[in-house]
Amino acid sequence: MITAELKQQAKNAMENQIGVLIFAWIALIFINSIAAGISSGILNIVLLPLDVGLVSIHLLVAANKNANFDNLFDGFRYNFGENLFTIFIKNIFLFLWFMLFIIPGFIKLYSYYLVPFLLADDDVKETSFECITRSRELMDGHKLDLFLLHLSFILWILFGIITLGLGFIYVIPYMKQADTQFYLKVKHERLGFEKELIMDRNLTQDNASSFERYN
């Protein structure tokens, strides 16, 4: 998977909607900061669907559709209970893996990375645990690809640090949009492969039926 290609796709997608992305990220950070200041564990859990809403915005941007700030709350507006439960369970799984050891936890971090994307994707109709399983399947053989994509942003991250955090206003949405392009590419490859398998299976069954009919 070509990292430079994904980053260029992200830049192109963001070109006309960078404002809404920056506004959404600033709002997300502000809301989470308020929740952290209140120190309410329940409030932090209730806000988990914001991750789904944020990904919804990035998916709209990737599809060249108009994204609005209120899409940030899509995770509450649509399937709130399922979104909350799935993200919560995913985080519990990650916590348990990191308690086991750092390296297994890090690997599982990438295995479960696509869960919010699957929840936000209108083309995906799967339950909570199916989304977690699907994320693992999609990331099978692609965890290193995503890690290298993230690693390629090291200079951008340094830029954010040098600018005392101001640079992150652009860098963070840029990184997430690149993640979105990665998700769409992996999903297309996987679903395309599965469709070919289904077509081959149906063709085999049709041929077998024809053979039985004439023999």
Tens of pLDDT, residues 106-140: 999 999 999 999 999 988 878 888 999 999 999 99
User: Hey, how many other C-beta atoms are within 10 angstroms of the C-beta on 66?
Assistant: 11
pLDDT at 190: 80
pLDDT at 192: 64
Contact 59, 121 (CB under 8 A): yes
**Tokens, residue 108:** 């599982």
**Tokens, residue 136:** 């693992």
- Give the largest CA-CA distance in the chain: 78
**Tokens, residue 53:** 């809403």
SS3 content of the chain, % helix, strand, coil (to 5): 80, 0, 20
List CB contacts of 175: < 8 A, sequence separation 6 or more.
150, 153, 156
pLDDT at 209: 52
CA dist 168 and 25 (Å) reads 10
How large is the average pLDDT for residues 16-39?
Answer: 90
pLDDT at 19: 94
pLDDT > 70: percent of the chain: 87
Give 142's pLDDT tier (boundaries 50, 70, 90): very high
CA dist 46 and 57 (Å) reads 20
- Taking 70 as the threshold, does the pLDDT of residue 203 lie above it? no
List CB contacts of 93: < 8 A, sequence separation 6 or more.
108, 112, 132
Query: Which of the two residues, 179 and 205, has the higher pLDDT score?
Result: 179
- Convert the pLDDT of each residue in 184-202 to its tens digit: 999 998 876 454 444 444 4
Domain limits, the chain: 3-202
pLDDT at 39: 66
Average pLDDT taken over every residue of the chain: 88
List CB contacts of 145: < 8 A, sequence separation 6 or more.
1, 3, 182
